[in-house]
A and B are shown apart, each in its own frame.
Chain A
Amino acid sequence: MSNNYQLKRVDFIFKNENDWEEVLSKNLSHTPQELINELISSELKGRGGAGFPTGLKWKLSAEAVDETKYVICNADEGEPGTFKDREILSKVPFKVLTAMAICGYVIGAKIGTIYLRGEYFFLQPELNKAISEFKYYCDEIKFDFTINIFMGSGAYICGEETALFESMEGKRGEPRNKPPYPSSYGYMGKPTVINNVETLAHAYTIFNFGAKRFYDLGVQYSRGSKLYSVSGDTPKPGIYELELGMSLSDFVDEFGDGDTKAVQVGGASGFLVPRKRFNETTIGFQGKLTGISLPTGGSMMLFNSSRSMFNVLDNYLVFFNEESCGQCTPCRVGCQQLLRGIKAVKSGEKNAQYLDKLLRLAETMQYTAKCGLGQSVANSFSSIVENFREEMIY
């Protein structure tokens, strides 16, 4: 049990960034290969939620042969319950810019773009100021790298990397088939590294203090710290940097209101964990030997016993219905049918066994949808319906 356990708070991300000029010039004196090795040995994995090894991502793009390459910072933070990237960009923008520039040096890109969601338009003036100051320093040390901002316009799906490229190319934000992957065929068909804002902020820590400081945090397969966006029924909502690998029961001990019935890990596209599973669930990436390990982009939503899980699921499905890009049938029609289906069961128009049909439909979407959005609808749908079946019916 977790009586005397304390959540391991970490303070890397928001620690001052005044040394960014030194961090940049110091790292530009290393070879790209050395920097890739450093990143690989830190075992940093993407903090947007998918958890792809960042060092490998940079390595693949560095190996791609092309005169033009791009670095993109994914700031299209749209997952319900996530708000950490905004905080990073407003508090420590230079960490992100520096990591983008180091990435540009490593892979051979001269242009970096921050894809900023339309909802965060108000961040633009301050961020532009930081970008100008950053550019001034790059010119001073004769390092050729330019960063610009590309504004999104209110589409959740554009956080999916290939949909983001389509959007930047002036098209509808519809995900592409993969492969080819961005490392060889990204923005404008060029090799592209696309990283989440938080991933870049961690890369800065690694390039500043070395891989070991980062690697020493967390557990096997889930190294380092992570920012958690905590919301819902909690006395202390906000953003917290914690070590990876914590157990959900420790998390609830710290952030719950004493009446926590379930926690949604990873936003609407993540999993709902009921109270009886808190003990066996840890937060990190897949690959742990025992128990269930759930990845998260950082969204942690707590629900207490006053909440109807039917309403929660209904809210998620409305969200997916609106945000599905509509290009592939499993997602477009599947989202509609799941929403209609749970309403029909609730109203008594369909019997309770209909829920099993819906579960099979969700599973089909998981296998057949084109991108992560449609594939992940089943995560929240199945975990809510299986654990709170009676709330779906009565």
Chain B
Amino acid sequence: MNAITVLVKNLADQHGRERQNLLPILQGVVEQEKYLSEFSMIEIARELDLPAAEVFGTATFYSFLEHKKMGKYIIRICKTISCSMKGSNQVLLTIQDMLKITVGETTPDGYFSLLQTNCLGFCHQAPAMLINNDVYTDLTPEKVREILSVYMNKKKEGVTDVQ
């Protein structure tokens, strides 16, 4: 059986197969796969006996339920007013420069995706960003370089592991 099919079945076993269990299941797939492919949404629809259009409609409403292939680490940088006032744009430019991608893109190696997001609730420690579920605050161009370097080194180590 396909890995996604197994994942969806396990999530449905864990959360239930009612409509009110849809969000936790969608979140479960995103947690592992980083995004919802058309195939995974159809599998969820089949498992929960829902029209696929309903699953697609629900999933695409939520900004954290991506439906485009995403990298292993999703960077979400806050663009709302407090962060914008404290220089989130310079931080964004630094990230773009380091990763050689713009907002909405994923690095060719599939490691990083860069997104902007609305208020993260760290206005007093602005600017802020999320990398997957981890929060980084009081960012400066220098600080964000250090943070990303750590992630990039993880990648290098990961490559050595495979070899």
Contacts and interface: CB of A to CB of B under 8 A. Distances in A.
A325 B96 CA distance: 30
A188 B20 contact: yes
Interface string B100-126: 000000000000000001111111111
B123 A81 contact: yes
Given A81-B123, A153-B62, A237-B123, A323 B81 contact: no
Nearest to A121: B133
A132 B108 CA distance: 43
A83 B61 contact: no
A307 interface: yes
B81 A173 contact: no
B118 A229 contact: no
Contacts of A174: 61
B64 interface: yes
Interface stretch (A138-146, A212-220, A314-322, A368-376): A314-322
Contacts, number: 123
A187 to B, nearest CB: 9
Contacts of B93: none
B19 interface: yes
B152 interface: no
Interface residues of B, number: 36
A239 B61 CA distance: 31
A51 interface: no
Contacts of B52: none
A344 B126 CA distance: 30
B85 A151 contact: no
A325 B57 CA distance: 12
A80 B80 contact: yes
Contact of B62 (A79, A154, A188): A154
A83 B23 contact: no
B142 interface: no
B19 A82 contact: no
B62 A81 contact: no
Contacts of B79: 315, 318
Contacts of B58: 170-172
B125 to A, nearest CB: 8
A80 B133 contact: no
B140 interface: no
Contacts of B19: 169-171
A168 to B, nearest CB: 6
Interface in A26-60: none
Contacts of B130: 119
B81 A154 contact: no
Interface string A183-196: 00000100000000
Contacts of A312: 81
Contact of B81 (A83, A122, A238, A268): A268
Contacts of A322: 63, 118
B16 to A, nearest CB: 10
A299 B120 CA distance: 13
B140 to A, nearest CB: 16
Interface in A63-89: 77-83, 86
Interface string B50-83: 0000000110011111000000000000011110
A311 B89 CA distance: 13
Contacts of A167: 23
A233 B65 CA distance: 34
Given A171-B58, A315-B81, A86 B121 contact: yes
B21 interface: yes
A121 B117 CA distance: 15
B118 A156 contact: yes
B27 interface: yes
Contacts of B133: 121-122
A278 B120 CA distance: 28
A173 B61 contact: yes
Given A118-B64, A154-B64, A231-B124, A80 B119 contact: yes
Contacts of B62: 118, 152-155, 173
B84 A315 contact: yes
Interface in B5-27: 18-24, 26-27
Given A170-B20, A188-B20, A153 B26 contact: yes
11 contacts: A79-B119, A80-B80, A82-B119, A82-B121, A118-B62, A120-B121, A169-B19, A169-B20, A188-B20, A268-B80, A301-B82
